[in-house]
Amino acid sequence: MPVIKILPHPEYCPAGTEITAPAGTSICEALLDNQINIEHACDMSCACTTCHVIVREGLASLNEAEEEEEDLLDRAWGLEPQSRLSCQAILAQKDLVIEIPKYTINHAKENH
């Protein structure tokens, strides 16, 4: 199973951590399954940017971003060339290093 290393994030994962998830799982599902409660306001339907992550290592192993995801990413806070919507990025057999951006464009956070 691929290992996902999550870099420290002040709210979701203050110390950083490593998790595993089966290939074929989205990054968002893997995070949620491991109690890293990343925002996902559209319920993982590729309709917002709240689950935006930056893939620091392993980007090439993920499925290619489709046009709908690319269009949404244009609105994400802190967009970088390695940015993906975690609900659309599907794990392969390679390990990843991801960073959850400090902010989202979502003004009302869920579960708070």
Q: Is residue 105 part of a domain?
A: no
Sheet of strand 83-85, all strands in order from the earlier edge strand to the far edge: 17-20, 3-6, 96-99, 52-57, 83-85
Q: Is residue 104 part of a domain?
A: no
- Domain span at residue 20 reads 3-99
Q: Is residue 107 part of a domain?
A: no
pLDDT of residue 111: 46
Compute the residue count for the chain. 112
Q: Is residue 43 part of a domain?
A: yes
Taking the C-alpha atoms of residue 24 and residue 16, their distance in angstroms, rounded to an integer, is 23
pLDDT of residue 106: 58
Q: Considering the entire predicted model, what is its pTM?
A: 0.91
Q: Is residue 106 part of a domain?
A: no
Count the neighbouring beta carbons within 10 Å of the beta carbon of residue 106.
16
Reported in sequence order, the residue ranges of 50-103 that DSSP labels E, i.e. its strands, are 52-57, 83-85, 96-99
Taking the C-alpha atoms of residue 108 and residue 47, their distance in angstroms, rounded to an integer, is 16
Please state the domain count of the chain.
1
Interval 22-81: pLDDT, tens: 999 999 999 999 999 999 999 999 999 999 999 999 999 999 999 999 999 999 989 999
Q: Is residue 111 part of a domain?
A: no
Interval 83-110: pLDDT, tens: 999 999 999 999 999 999 987 765 444 4
Does the pLDDT value for residue 5 go beyond 70? yes
CB-facing half-sphere around the CA of 63: CA atoms within 13 A: 17
